[in-house]
Amino acid sequence: MGCPKTVYRFFDDHEEKHYVLSSFTRQQLEELIEQYKAKTEKVYASEFVKYLHEFDTDAEEVDVKDFYF
């Protein structure tokens, strides 16, 4: 069994809600987003996930759907 993964919800500069699956802790993710923001003017989900994937090969954007039963 690998590292535990967490789904994080965030809003990009389009103000759209996105979910990212990562094995990073929240602190690690916050540090990485600050590094990323220093290199770019705007943060968009798809570009950030590609950047994140360079450091966390398990990272991916996920769709979250409601499921009722």
Percent of the chain at pLDDT above 90?
Answer: 70
12 Cβ partners below 8 Å, 6+ apart? 18, 42, 43, 44, 45, 48
Q: Is the predicted pLDDT of residue 2 greater than 80, yes or no?
A: no
Q: Is the predicted pLDDT of residue 4 greater than 90, yes or no?
A: no
Average pLDDT over residues 22-27: 94
User: pLDDT, tens digit, for every residue of 40-64?
Assistant: 988 898 899 999 999 999 899 999 9
Q: Which pLDDT belongs to residue 1?
A: 53
Tokens 């993710």 locate to 29
